[in-house]
Amino acid sequence: MQIVKTSKNGIDYVNGLLKEKKTVVTKVLFYKVPHNDGSDEVNLKIGRYNKSGMFKTETLETSDPKSELTLDHEEFANLIHFIEENYGPLLLGAGKYIPADADLDNALGERMIEIFNNKDSRKVANFLIKNKLLNLHSASIIEFARRNHAVKVFENKVNTNETEHAWQKWFEDNDWVLGNEVVEILDDRRIDVSNVADYLVETFDGFVDLVEIKRPEGSLQFWSPAKEHGNLIPHQDLIKAVTQVQNYILELEKEMNSIKTQKRLNNTAIIKPRATLIYGRSNTWGNEEKQAFRLLNSGYQNITILTYDHVIDRAKRSIAHRSKGEEE
């Protein structure tokens, strides 16, 4: 515990030891200077001293230039501001940077959005890294913040009556929530002339899978109100959604040997496509619903059903894992 002391002249101060060697010591002193108008200011005194003699008398290490410096309130405040602004970027290895509290007007903000929304985003990223405007660690921090913001937007949206189009846009911007197996969402969503999926995605092993979403709010039900032999069973709404997905899988498999379709889908191969159906809510489920859900998913070989609450839990776990990795 640090103790505030008072000098004979009534000046409150706090002193500290920054570094001590056998013959040299570096000390720091904060002291508060009262003014007649009732205001106070804090000054900083820092010095390096030689220790000599039996009682280790301290004298200035050098007198020319003097190894002791006193900063008045304005100088000290500016030093704090300088450290806050520049210590982190310098430590992280940034070559150039804009301080967070700089005067970022709307015009500059719009220009930055324009730059970062450039279709050729990889060139933009390479330019930033090459010119030391952005290093890998700071890029990870930015991505971490972006994902945190996306989760907050998701949580706000899930409690409102958003259209499927609005949800499609969110998932397009945040395909990382679909899992590590998804490399990217393909631009073309057409399976054939009659069937259009919400998303066709390229997996890490280079094949096409699909994702179908149903809005979380509205009249769609997950579990049937009537049980079968005492067991929860899926509602007809959910069965219809699953049937639609199964049909998409069937039609996608028919395109397996179509060179035209593969070319249209970025030359991504179609072999035993799998599907993810995002449907309904599970925030009020108890153990019975959770067990029934586990059994339901186990009954499908190529379809995984997730609720919107499962998606948000997955997102939060992903962010927590990423944050833990950054700390290590």
Specify the pLDDT at position 222.
Answer: 94
106's tokens: 């709307």
Task: Give the predicted TM-score (pTM) of the model.
Answer: 0.60
Give 98's pLDDT tier (boundaries 50, 70, 90): low
The model's pLDDT over 186-243, given as tens digits with 9 standing for 90+, comes to 989 999 888 999 999 999 888 999 999 998 876 789 999 999 989 999 999 999 999 9
Give 29's pLDDT tier (boundaries 50, 70, 90): confident
121: DSSP letter: H
Give 311's pLDDT tier (boundaries 50, 70, 90): very high
CA 8 to the chain's CA centroid: 53
Rounded to an integer, what distance in angstroms lies between the CA atom of residue 156 and that of residue 280? 16
Alpha carbon dihedral 315, 316, 322, 326, in 10-degree steps, equals 150
Residue partners of 196: CB distance under 8 A and separation at least 6? 189, 190
Query: Ramachandran region of residue 112, left (φ > 0), alpha (ψ -120 to 50) or beta?
Result: alpha
Give 323's pLDDT tier (boundaries 50, 70, 90): low
Specify the pLDDT at position 51.
Answer: 86
Specify the pLDDT at position 325.
Answer: 54
129's tokens: 């890294």
Query: Angle at Cα 130 formed by Cα 129 and Cα 131, nearest 5°?
Result: 90
Q: Give the 3-state secondary structure of residue 305.
A: strand
The model's pLDDT over 257-286, given as tens digits with 9 standing for 90+, comes to 888 998 899 889 999 999 999 999 999 999
Specify the pLDDT at position 87.
Answer: 66
Give 100's pLDDT tier (boundaries 50, 70, 90): low
157's tokens: 């949206």
Give 97's pLDDT tier (boundaries 50, 70, 90): low
Residue 247 has pLDDT above 80, yes or no: yes
Residue 287 has pLDDT above 60, yes or no: yes
The model's pLDDT over 143-202, given as tens digits with 9 standing for 90+, comes to 788 888 899 889 888 887 777 788 888 998 888 888 878 888 998 999 988 899 999 999
Cα–Cα nearest to 182, from 311, 297, 324, 293: 311
Q: Are strands 275-278 and 208-213 parallel, antiparallel or unpaired?
A: parallel
The model's pLDDT over 32-61, given as tens digits with 9 standing for 90+, comes to 888 888 788 888 889 888 887 655 678 877
DSSP string covering 226-280, please? S-BTTB--B-HHHHHHHHHHHHHHHHHHHTTT-HHHHHHTTT-B-SS--EEEE-S
Return the higher-pLDDT residue of 220 and 111: 220
| Tally of residues, the chain | 328
Cα–Cα nearest to 158, from 244, 246, 284: 284
153's tokens: 């937007």
Question: What's the mean per-residue pLDDT of the chain?
Answer: 82
